[in-house]
Structure 1
Amino acid sequence: MRNFHFKLIIFIILLSFSKTFGQYFMVCQPVEIEKYRGKNFILEGKIFYNSEIKNDSWVVLSALFVDEKGKGMKNTINNDDAQAYYKNGNWSSYQLQGKIEKKAKFIAVGITVAGSGSYHVDDFKLFIQDGKNKIEIPVRNAGFEDASLTPWQAQNIDKDTRLSLANDQYFSGKQSLFVDNSNVKMTPTFGNNKENGKFMDVNGVKLYYEVYGKGEPLLLIHGNNSSMASFNQQIDVLSKKYMVIGLDSRGQGKSSSDDQKLTYELMADDINVFLEKINLKKVNILGWSDGGNIAVILGMEHPDKVKKMAIMGAVLYNNETSVFPEINKILNEQVKEMKKRGVSENDMNYRLKILLLTEPNINPDSLKKIQAPTLVMAGEHDVTPEKHTKLIAEKIPNGKMLIFKGADHEAPSKIPEKFNQAVLDFFE
């Protein structure tokens, strides 16, 4: 009966997980945490990359809450940034933290894997923070020392993925889990489509872009340390009515970088040159997070390039009035940890975090230069206070504010139907 219950939980996890992550897959096991509802958990694990980390090939820690009926609760929780913990050529110590849902009976802990790389995984540990006490919750076969992989289960796995026990590379003990995706044939997806994708030389770097659909041009500008693939919930809907151009900003996605100081002004100029080279003016723009910041600067400095703008979760500057303090606290801790690990200041991941902490620096009154009608969007629980979103909308001559009730900074991926409809209504 216990084994049946376990399989039922895993099946529910698979349904929830596959809808959210598509090609990615998860290796996990459920751990009972009913008596710790409402408390914080800490999941730790060791990961060794056999090849250098890439934007589309990575491993992160994952957790999914399951209620007493075996139903997955909300989305899977993952490390937001695989590179924040990554050590090239050495074991990387990953950590995932969160709060246990009040109706959760189990927490399924493990890893999410993407891309065509190969990895070793070892030494999982799960802790509950109970006041000042840190309680370790047993995870079975946490160091993969048993003769089989039981009770670990793989979900949404490709037929060419190989999972096995390995004794050639381990963090402790004598074995680790070996995850080999090197023989997996990756299905073309938005942001990773060899048949569609092209590169363009712009300001000393190569920008990667893909084009879908026909009609008025609509340019997508993604957020910090991301890629056009973050709009995967938008591409199908938008490309039915527009010629959608997905673009990876410099140093992100498949685009290259150089040693120039990273600024939003530089990335806005990249887009201006890109649009000139493909002979486009008066394009519609959808910008999310950093993409919104870049869009605002493009609209100010190159108004001839922008017809309409829809921006999500943008800011004009970074202080206590524009970004909630806990967000900057997390960023500063990540930067501190990267310095501790000896990460170079030229590392793109490091540079992108510094960018978030120090920029943009836009004078609100300068928004009057924007000629394009602009939809200024944010989630009710976004990283920026609603007053700041309102300030942006009010300072843009033809600006309009929209707050998604109950949503956060990830509204485009978490509530795509509402978000997409709002964007379509505005552009039409």
Structure 2
Amino acid sequence: MRILLLCLLFPFVAQAQVGGPGWGAFNRAVAVQDAWKGRPFRLTARVRPQVTNSVSWAGIWVRNHAEGGAVSFFDNMQEKPVREDKWTDCEIKSIFNKRDSVMYFGGLYIGPGRYAFDDFRLQVETTAGNWETATLDGMGMDDTTALSAWHMPGKNRGLQHAFDNGHLVIDASSLPASTEKKDGQKSIYGNNPQAGHYANVNGIKVYYEVYGKGEPVVLLHGNSQAIIVFTYLIPELSKKYKVIAVDTRLQGKSGDDGKRLTYELFAEDVKALLDHLKLKKVNLFGWSDGGNTGLILASKYPDRFKTLMTMGANLQPDTNAVKPFVLEQLKTQIAKLQPEATVNRRLWTLCLEEPHISPEQLKAIKCPTLVMAGDDDMIRDEHTRFIAATIPQGELLIFEKATHFAPFDVPEKFRQALEDFLAKHK
């Protein structure tokens, strides 16, 4: 299932979206034209990896978003990796959803090496058998004028890009080797015996991992996610802070006792974990479901939080807060679930029934709070702005060219925003 809804962040299959120490990517955004909707498309490019180990590889990737941010399609060639030191033709094919509004695509590279990309082409089958090439600047990778069309890798990760003989070359020799496991997982986060712990709190076992030293920063993921989605954030944040990443109950490695799921219950789990760890005051970042939980925690226990950072949070599960098609799509997906899919049913139903956070609760939050969203988020823009304006020390940050999945869409900008906010209130 490739759909990503309101607070349903599909369990981490998209390394090209998250970042991390062992890989890199570049991308661009293209508006989906009305004439393309419902029509087949194909993205092609030539890729040449020069690597020094057997697990590094390169490829291209595509991610399409419907209006409001829901992901309708994603492919990053993880099942068709390019490893040979020769020019290889790559292709990703699918069909535009009739609700699609934006397409992101680009190149992906895993592990240390030197990676070349050339001749990107987006084609749409406008009529049967007739493939038209979209007119887009910079697709030929001919020279530096192409840069304005693409978001290139950041030099702060030691990645360098240049144009050589009419194609783009990325020097990623500074990347560490991939941590690929036999089961295909490429991240230690969420499955690290050295950093992982269980705490018996609030009637269940809660799994969490600890990295680094310093002021504590707690990370809470979204619905149907787990710690692994913070693969990009943890390495950098843990250089300055003690990062505590948590699997919310019934997700990741955390347990469950069958109680009806609510964000108040999630909040009590986290509060009990903080008590268990003897942490009197923490910084907290919550994404989607985690943001909802963070708002409840900071309003109910204001003295326990130094700062709060939320991404894509909402106060109620209705069309005043959430774009209508998201709720409709979620209801449709729940109706399609098999009877035995109780975990998904419980988690997804939570998004239709919760949260119920009042303006009075927001006004009870004492700590500086960074309220974030994408400019094409599933959460209504006016709703996000209301949250930021109602919290006494609320600050608003809207990421341009980003969706509900801004930590995936603009990973470096997102991480830097968290670090800047934490530093400001250190």
TM tier relative to shorter chain: 0.5 to 0.7
Partner of 1:342: 339
1:80/1:374 Cα in 2 relative to 1: closer, same or farther (>3 Å)?
farther
CA distance in 2, matches of 1:426, 1:22: 20
* Distance apart, 1:194 and its partner CA: 1.8
Cα drift, residue 302 of structure 1: 1.0
Q: Is the 8 A contact 1:67 1:103 kept in 2?
A: no
Unaligned runs of 5+ in 2: 1-13, 23-33, 48-58, 66-70, 75-93, 106-123, 130-179
Q: CA 1:310 to 1:22, structure 2 compared with 1: closer, same or farther past 3 Å?
A: closer
When residues 38 and 367 of structure 1 are mapped into structure 2, their CA distance, relative to the original with a 3 A threshold, is same
- One-letter amino acid matched to 1:305: R
Q: CA deviation at 1:353?
A: 0.8
Distance 1:410 1:185, change over 3 A: closer
Give the match for residue 220 of structure 1: 219
1:12-411 correspondence to structure 2 within 5 Å:
19-20=16-17, 38-40=36-38, 65-67=42-44, 72=60, 74-75=62-63, 98-99=96-97, 184=183, 189-338=188-337, 341-343=338-340, 347-411=342-406
Q: Please list the CA deviations of residues 7-26 of structure 1 after superposition, one character each: whole Å capped at 9, or x if unmatched.
A: xxxxxxxxxx87558899xx
What CA deviation, in whole Å up to 9, does each residue of 1:272-311 have, x standing for no partner?
Answer: 1110011001100011000000000000111121110110
1:269: Cα distance to partner? 0.6
Tell me how far 1:270 sits from its aligned partner. 0.5
Q: Residue 184 of structure 1: CA displacement? A: 4.3
Question: In 2 relative to 1, CA 363–403 (structure 1 residues): closer, same or farther, beyond 3 Å?
Answer: same
User: Structure 1 residues 313, 18: CA separation in 2 closer, same or farther (over 3 Å shift)?
Assistant: closer
SS at match of 1:408: coil
Question: Aligned equivalents of 1:349 and 1:184: distance in 2?
Answer: 23
Distance in 2 separating the partners of 1:263 and 1:408: 25
Distance 1:356 1:72, change over 3 A: same
TM-score, structure 2 as length reference: 0.62
Quote the Cα distance in structure 1 between the aligned partners of 2:390 and 2:252. 32
Cα distance per residue 1:177-226 (max 9 Å; x no partner): xxxx9964866611111222111111111100000011100000100110
Q: In 2 relative to 1, CA 355–68 (structure 1 residues): closer, same or farther, beyond 3 Å?
A: same
Contact 1:39 1:129 in 2 (8 A): no
Q: How far apart in 1 are the matches of 2:258 and 2:246?
A: 20
What letter is aligned with 2:246? L
Closer, same or farther: CA 361–129 of 1 in aligned 2, 3 Å: farther
Secondary structure at the counterpart of residue 334 of structure 1: helix
**Cα displacement string for residues 376-421 of structure 1 (whole angstroms, at most 9, x for unaligned residues):** 0000000111110111011111101110011111111221111111
SS for the counterpart of 2:222 is: coil
After TM superposition, give the deviation of residue 366 of structure 1 in Å: 2.2
Q: Assess if the C-alpha contact under 8 Å between 2:208 and 2:247 holds in 1.
A: yes
3-state SS in 2 of match to 1:321:
coil
User: Secondary structure of the residue that 2:375 maps to in structure 1?
Assistant: strand
Percent of residue pairs bearing the same amino acid type? 40
Q: What is the CA–CA distance in structure 1 between the aligned matches of 2:18 and 2:394, rounded to whole Å?
A: 34
Provide the C-alpha distance between the structure 2 equivalents of 1:292 and 1:326, rounded to a whole number of angstroms. 21
Task: Give 1:39 deviation, angstroms.
Answer: 3.4
Q: Is the 8 A contact 1:308 1:372 kept in 2?
A: yes
CA contact (8 A) 2:296 2:361 kept: no
- Highest relative contact order (Cα 8 Å, sep 6+), 1 or 2? 2
Distance in 1 separating the partners of 2:277 and 2:419: 24
Change beyond 3 A, Cα 1:103–1:393: closer
Please tell me the root mean square deviation across aligned C-alpha atoms, in Å: 3.6
CA pair 236-22 structure 1, distance change in 2 beyond 3 A: closer
Distance change >3 Å, CA 65–CA 416, structure 1 → 2: farther
What secondary structure, in the 3-state scheme, does the structure 2 residue paired with 1:269 have? helix
Equivalent residues of 1:37, 1:102 under 8 A apart: no
Aligned twin of 2:121: none
Tell me by how many angstroms 1:230 deviates.
1.2
The change in CA–CA distance for 1:272 and 1:80 in structure 2 (over 3 A counts) is: farther
Work out the CA distance in 2 between the residues paired with 1:66 and 1:103: 14
Residue type of the partner of 2:228? A
TM-score (norm 1): 0.61
**CA-to-aligned-CA distance 1:220-266 (integer Å, 9 cap, x gap):** 01001101211111111111110000000000011011111100000
The residue type equivalent to 1:366 in the other structure is Q
- Match of 1:241, SS? coil
- Structure 1 unmatched ranges of 5 or more: 1-16, 25-35, 43-63, 82-95, 107-127, 137-180
